[in-house]
Amino acid sequence: NHPRNGLLVQATMLLAIGLNGTGKHQEAIELLERAKSMVKDNKLCRESWLATVTDNPILVESRRRTWWELYVLDGLFACAYQSTKFTLYDLDDDVKLPCEEVDYLRQVSPILAISEDSHSDSDRIFSRDLRTAQSSYLRLHAAFSVYKS
């Protein structure tokens, strides 16, 4: 019985990625499902949870990145294996997009551009001008596009 928190989600995701890369797809899918369950059960997809974890903006950003990486993996696994569903797409979340890498490396507290948008409203969020979009948005857009194709 391990605590079901952001660090365990990160570790579970990394193991799933590693297993997937070595051809152990079913084990990777099972671990991804476990990570998704931890997020859903503990409301780790809520900005309010991020703020209660720590007041360190870098750790908050790390948790934010964990959520969105899990979101992307969920979409990619759903597309690649079609034995899973992109369940995080419909999850009620309000986590802001991660900041740009340069800001993260400079340890700048993120001010995120599209916090008013929800990924559930795909027509609005995915109709943005991609030439000016931040890199995390482009990654989400790619995962969503692959899933929808």
Print the SS3 string covering 44-78.
CCCHHHHHHHCCCHHHHHHHHHHHHHHHHHHHHHH
Is the pTM above the cut of 0.85?
Answer: no
Cβ–Cβ under 8 Å, residues 100 and 135: yes
CB atoms within 10 A of CB 140: 22
For residues 138 and 133, give the distance between their C-alpha atoms in angstroms, rounded to a whole number: 7
User: How does pLDDT run across 32-81, given as a tens digit for each residue?
Assistant: 999 999 988 888 888 887 777 677 777 888 888 898 899 999 988 988 88
Q: What is the pLDDT of residue 93?
A: 83
CB atoms within 10 A of CB 100: 16
